[in-house]
Structure 1
Amino acid sequence: MKKPQKTRISAISKLKRRNLLRLLGGTATVALASCVRRPLVGLPSGAASGATSGAASSAASPAAASAAASTAASLPRCVVKPQQTEGPYFVDAALNRSDIRSDRASGQVKPGVPLNLVIQVFQVGNESSNANANAACRPLSGAIVDVWHCDAAGVYSGVQDPRFDTGGQDFLRGYQTTNSDGIAEFLTIYPGWYPGRAIHIHFKVRVGDASPQRYEFTSQLYFDDAISDQVYTQPPYAAPGQRIQRNRQDGIFQRGGEQLLLQLSQTERGYLGKFELGLAIA
């Protein structure tokens, strides 16, 4: 019994220090990978495996750790967001169009900083009832997404108001049906402001519109105040004067508005605004 033990110790002693550390490092990496190899609940199919491989390789190099962090940051936030009031200016005009800047009757295009608005809708299920936990969050195709908002002067189309009468006009309104990735995309302008409200866009998501199991979700999207301050130094936004209502001063924003902020990034012509929404549809 002693002889085999001495042989094994002798063999290990012949390993150089560098090789021994390399051997232990490889073992540690395998152990880490086995620890993180579990499903990430609430993410679309494929997201869990991507995040897992990134986490495992992060033990090997800082570059891999950075890639893993980037992957995690890009994962969709499949979270049910708060509903908010529809407001007095919704008109079910059935305008199926992605470019909502113009009024169809006059052909006039509303002036303003271009905004590409991308809304991605997910269906949130109960993962405990699914064999695959990733099925708890999947893109929802075929949903109708309506958007409507005011122009740079704070005016809505198609309604009567003490400040304006725009009956018969339909600028800055429209709907799109989500594609296989759950995306509805619009070309519009950065909204203006009016007294009593922070800057916002109304939206409504309808599923199974013609069925008895119809589902409807209504809420509002908000903008970073610092970005709005920059936009509002330009015409035509500067014409109404300096706005006084910011996000935290808006009573409606205070009821969940932090979860309804658009992810804004600047483009060559204007801004790209992204928003991801999870719907808990029975």
Structure 2
Amino acid sequence: MTPSDPHPAPPHLDDDTDDELVGSILSRRRALRLLGLGGGALSLAAGGVLAQRAGGPSTGGAAGSSAGPGGGSGLPGCVVRPALTEGPYFVESEPRRADLRKDTTTGTVSAGVPLTLNFLVSKVSVGSCTPRSRVLIDVWHCDALGVYSGVSGNTGNFLRGSLVTDAQGRASFTTIYPGWYQGRAVHIHFKLRPLDASGKATGEFTSQLFFPEGVNSAVFARAPYRQKGTRADTPNAQDGIYRNGGSQLLLDVKGDPAAGYAATFDVGLNIG
């Protein structure tokens, strides 16, 4: 690497906190108790609690996955999500926008396979999940070559942004499929913060989203990703953060690398 390199790689994971494990994965019995359906009151687990509504994407058989239709009596078709590390690349006050691809400081648009990332946020209460408005969602991730904006000597604000959920609990971002960098599986960071009437955050939950390996391979065979190689050096199964509950945060992406992909992350929130 030289000082003139406009896209220095992020520091190795041993030198930052991106591989710090946060939060916990809860058993189905513990999830029922937290939802007030197993004899305990609705409460907040260590690191926060997220839940997926019935009909959302399949996340595999990890601990904490449960009960869609036909599950536990009264369970609102929700599964517990683990909190994962914020990492060293979060920037406060990211631009409020739906399209993350443009760097507003230079006008440059990040190249890559288009990705539409939809969030559907609900309020978790005993026996139900209802749409939750006024939740600030921050999203940030690396570009096709594994570079983050605004950190590690890089300027700009490409592939960063935030939106507030509408009355239906929805927020939709247009971005590109993320690339990879040394020591990490392919991922997108996100933070959820419920807002009060004055716009002040009343709680916070931070985690990461992951991608199926077959889709990663298809994307990385294309330009500009293939400049880094056709496969990430750390697949999901070898990523320490993914092993802490990433199977519950695995996106069900639809589409193809030529036309682009779309994914919906359907979650419930009981903080703030």
Cα RMSD for the two superposed structures: 2.5
Match of 1:256 among 215, 234, 245: 245
Q: Secondary structure at the match of 2:226?
A: coil
Counterpart-to-counterpart distance in 2, 1:200 and 1:273: 13
Counterpart-to-counterpart distance in 1, 2:200 and 2:172: 27
Deviation, 1:43, is 9.8
Please say if residues 178 and 184 of structure 1, whose CA atoms lie closer than 8 Å, have aligned partners that are also in contact. yes
Counterpart-to-counterpart distance in 1, 2:104 and 2:167: 29
1:238–1:213 distance in 2 versus 1, CA, 3 Å: closer
Q: Which residue is equivalent to 2:47? A: none
Match of 2:140 among 135, 143, 148: 148
Please say if residues 81 and 278 of structure 1, whose CA atoms lie closer than 8 Å, have aligned partners that are also in contact. no
Q: Would you tell me which structure has more helix in proportion to its own residues?
A: 1
Cα deviation code 1:13-68 (max 9, x no counterpart): xxxxxxxxxxxxxxxxxxxxxxxxxxxx9998xx9xxxxxxxxxxxxxxxxxxxxx
Deviation, 1:77, is 5.2
Q: Secondary structure at the match of 2:227?
A: coil
Unaligned runs of 5+ in 2: 1-36, 38-50, 55-67, 70-75
Counterpart-to-counterpart distance in 2, 1:145 and 1:43: 16
Q: Where do 1:95-244 residues align within 5 Å?
A: 95-125=95-125, 127=126, 133=127, 136-160=128-152, 165-167=153-155, 169-208=156-195, 214-241=202-229, 242-244=231-233
Match of 2:262 among 258, 272, 275: 272
Please say if residues 134 and 194 of structure 2, whose CA atoms lie closer than 8 Å, have aligned partners that are also in contact. yes
Cα deviation code 1:75-123 (max 9, x no counterpart): x954331110000000013311000001001100000000000011111
1:190–1:77 distance in 2 versus 1, CA, 3 Å: farther
AA in 1 matched with 2:205: F
Deviation, 1:273, is 1.2
Counterpart-to-counterpart distance in 1, 2:175 and 2:52: 30
Counterpart-to-counterpart distance in 2, 1:235 and 1:43: 34
TM-score by length of 1: 0.66
Unaligned runs of 5+ in 1: 1-40, 48-70, 128-132
Larger Rg over CA atoms: 1
TM-score by length of 2: 0.69
Pick 1 or 2: higher relative contact order, CA cutoff 8 A, min separation 6: 2
The aligned length equals 202
Q: Secondary structure at the match of 1:166?
A: coil
Deviation, 1:179, is 1.1
AA in 2 matched with 1:114: P
Q: Secondary structure at the match of 2:247?
A: helix
1:275–1:213 distance in 2 versus 1, CA, 3 Å: closer
Please say if residues 80 and 279 of structure 1, whose CA atoms lie closer than 8 Å, have aligned partners that are also in contact. no
Counterpart-to-counterpart distance in 1, 2:271 and 2:224: 41
Please say if residues 193 and 201 of structure 2, whose CA atoms lie closer than 8 Å, have aligned partners that are also in contact. no
Counterpart-to-counterpart distance in 2, 1:233 and 1:278: 35
